[in-house]
Each structure stands twice: as structure tokens, then as C-alpha cells.
Amino acid sequence: AQSVTQLDSHVSVSEGTPVLLRCNYSSSYSPSLFWYVQHPNKGLQLLLKYTSAATLVKGINGFEAEFKKSETSFHLTKPSAHMSDAAEYFCVVPRERNAGNMLTFGGGTRLMVKP
Amino acid sequence: DGGITQSPKYLFRKEGQNVTLSCEQNLNHDAMYWYRQDPGQGLRLIYYSQIVNDFQKGDIAEGYSVSREKKESFPLTVTSAQKNPTAFYLCASRSSLNYGYTFGSGTRLTVV
């Protein structure tokens, strides 16, 4: 079964410094992978998705992620953090090819941005 | 604009009461989902429906019930059998064209 592990429950950066949110996946085949962002008491918004095309995926708000099969990783990065990036981020993988297209969520990483 | 509307945003329930959370979408999506979110646990699937008049249990369906009488609507009832209902509940729908998910803004349920 597909699963994802977010390696850090909390990450704190200063405004203007790089962001790295780590995600490792486990899958019996090359999966699709997603990153979602959730601002406090809000729903989830799709940041970017990998669907076996280019391994470097660019998303909204300057975020990007690189799919590395050899490392089974899909880390999310941004060159320069902004205060508005403070939120919770989820790495997500579809469960199985025909399992109702349900999603499996990582535990989330809360990003804090200091002024 | 198309989207998903969840209501109410905040809900308080006394122990022993059933409450129903509303989820309405005008995206013409066939599939709809209910997730529960607790701190540090990501989102866990409660129920999902891929088509009108059909729904399936997710990972944590005990103490919950749903209906799907209309394509646009997928209400979730939290029954008195749910032992720990205080949580943030998110509804989602999925397009059958591009498989993209859309999430509602959530309902925060607190048992008092």
C-alpha cells in the first residue's frame, strides 16, 4: 500500500530564508504525489502535483518539489520564505490505482516563519 | 464561482446528541469525501461516495453516517456513538476529468 511520511512535524525559518519540507513515500509502483497547504481553519489548497512527467515540479507561490525515485523522496522547497507561507503542509499520495481514488495524507508539517 | 461549501463553520454539541454537517458542491463532481483532522494525524477518511445513492466506509466510519441523495450534497451525521467527535471535519470532491480534488473550508465540531 502507498504511504507517505513527513519527517518534520514543525519547521521554523526566518523570512527570506529557504524552506525545505521533507516527505518520503512508500509505493509498489511509481506513484502520483501531491503537496497541499492548509492555512488555519481553512480547507486544503493544492500546491503542486507530480504525475510521472518532469521530476521537478513547479507549483504556486514559488514552491517546487523534486521527485527522486532512488531516495523515495518528494521534498518541498522554496528559495525565500514569506510570512504568508506560515501554514500546515501535507504530502499526499493516492492509495492504490483503483481504490476509489482515495488519498493517504502524511501527518503534516507546520511551517512557522519568523520576521 | 464553483466550489464546496461547508456549514456551519463552528458547531457545538452536547454529549449524547447527533449533529449533521453540511457539504454542498456546485462543481458537478461525482465523487465526494469526508475527512476528519486531528492535530498531528493528518487527515483520516470517514466516508466517501463515488456516485449518487452509493457510499462506502472509510478508515474511521464508526459513529458516523452519511447520505448521498443528490449529486451536489453529501451530509455527514456525527452520532452519539462517536466517542471522541471533537475535531475539524473537511469535505472534498473530485473531478472525474482531471482527478483534481477540491476541499471545503471545514467545520470545527466541539463537544461540550
Q: CB-CB: which of A42, A45, A105 is closest to B42?
A: A105
Q: Which amino acid is at A111?
A: L
Instruction: Retrieve residue A12's grid coordinates.
Output: 521554523
**What's residue B106's pLDDT?**
93
Contact present, A56 and A64 (Cβ < 8 Å): yes
Query: Average pLDDT, stretch A64-71?
Result: 93
CA-angle at B86, arms to B84 and B88, nearest 5°? 130
Q: How confident is the model at residue A32 (pLDDT cuts 50, 70, 90)?
A: confident
Cα gap B18→B35, rounded to integer Å: 18
Question: Which positions of chain B have pLDDT values less than 50?
Answer: none
Cα gap B90→B9, rounded to integer Å: 11
Cα gap B33→B55, rounded to integer Å: 9
Q: Which of residues 8-67 of A touch B (CB under 8 A)?
A: 9, 36, 41-46
B interface test, pick of A6, A52, A103 with most B CB neighbours within 10 Å: A103
Question: Nearest CA to B94 among A24, A99, A57, A89?
Answer: A99
Question: Nearest CA to A92 among B1, B35, B12?
Answer: B35
Name the residue of chain A whose CA is nearest to B88's CA: A41
Which residues in chain B have Cβ-Cβ distances shorter than 8 Å to A46? 100-101
In this structure, is the dihedral angle defined by the CA atoms of residues A39, A42, A44 and A48, taken in order, positive or negative? negative
Instruction: Retrieve residue B100's grid coordinates.
Output: 483534481
Q: Which amino acid is at B78?
A: V
Cα gap A56→A66, rounded to integer Å: 4
- B87: exposed, middle or buried (Cβ count in 10 Å: 0-12, 13-18, 19+): buried
**What's residue A3's pLDDT?**
85
Cα gap A72→A75, rounded to integer Å: 10
Q: How confident is the model at residue A100 (pLDDT cuts 50, 70, 90)?
A: low
| B41·A9 Cβ contact <8 A | no
Q: How confident is the model at residue A59 (pLDDT cuts 50, 70, 90)?
A: very high
Query: Average pLDDT, stretch A79-89?
Result: 96
- B65: exposed, middle or buried (Cβ count in 10 Å: 0-12, 13-18, 19+): middle
Cα gap B44→A32, rounded to integer Å: 19
